Amino acid sequence: MRASRRRGFTLPEVLVSTFILVLLAAMTVPSLVSYKNAKDARATAATISSFSLSIVNTNAELGDPGFFERVAAYPQTLSQLIAPITTSMRSCAGTLYTATDVANWAVGAPYSTATVIATKGVPTPLGWIRDTVYVSATPNYVELRLDSVETGDANNIDLAIDIDADSTSGVLRYEAEPSAPGNPQLHRLRYLIPKGIGC
């Protein structure tokens, strides 16, 4: 009995198969990366938006007022949403908290369950939200900032928050990163929170 000879793949068959696999990978990888970028942007948008509610939650009738509704001032840092404030600490306006402010803070505390690292801020998938609450150059707002965000990520976060990728309108604004003047791909994000009195 004669043994049958097993025939292997020819070079053209191997090349065609390799080409098809490379083509499939080229089509799949960008969509996976795009999905991850959009997911990270949504997570970052949710985190930064949650701080807006922690600071100013006008749904006091639901029994969950924000920091401003309890203390009648804006916090100077996000850390003040979690760690007890004292009469030696300052609000966003630079005024010292009173004993009444401290007592009112304790009634609704903590105002966020996020992990805030004092003087650094809050980690997100796309960078750190700074611990400082800034008086905005935009009238009647205070702002939270996220630094060194790439253009595509800034647009994705803007779409998640404002449903429009426009760097000059809505509650999310962004401009070229001041700390990286030679890199037009990096942006500082400014999340605007409407301001009442107190800051």
For residue 79, give Cα distances in angstroms to 117, 162, 189. 7, 26, 20
CB contact at 8 A, 84 and 71 = no
Residue 177's pLDDT is 86
Question: For residue 110, is the peptide bond before it cis, meaning its omega torsion is within 30 degrees of 0?
Answer: yes
Report the candidate in 5, 95, 115 with the shortest Cα–Cα distance to residue 51.
Answer: 115
In this predicted structure, the answer to whether residue 198 has a pLDDT above a threshold of 60 is: no
In this predicted structure, the answer to whether residue 118 has a pLDDT above a threshold of 70 is: yes
Residue 27's pLDDT is 81
Residue 105's pLDDT is 93
Average pLDDT over residues 131-135: 92
Residue 61's pLDDT is 57
Span 50-97, pLDDT tens digits: 898 889 876 555 667 889 988 989 999 999 999 999 999 999 889 999
Span 43-52, pLDDT tens digits: 999 999 889 8
Residue 59's pLDDT is 59
For residue 53, give the amino acid letter.
L
pTM, rounded to two decimals: 0.77
Span 134-177, pLDDT tens digits: 988 888 888 999 988 998 899 999 999 998 888 888 899 998 88
Distance CA 108, CA 116 (A): 18
Residue 3's pLDDT is 60
pLDDT higher at 138 or 118: 118
Residue 199's pLDDT is 56
* Mean confidence (pLDDT) of the chain: 86
The residue extents of the domains of the chain are 11-194
- Pick left, alpha or beta for residue 190 (phi over 0 → left; psi -120 to 50 → alpha; otherwise beta): beta
Residue 45's pLDDT is 92
Span 184-193, pLDDT tens digits: 789 999 999 8
Distance CA 162, CA 99 (A): 38
Residue 58's pLDDT is 61
**Residue 132: band (very low, low, confident or very high) from pLDDT cuts 50, 70, 90:** very high
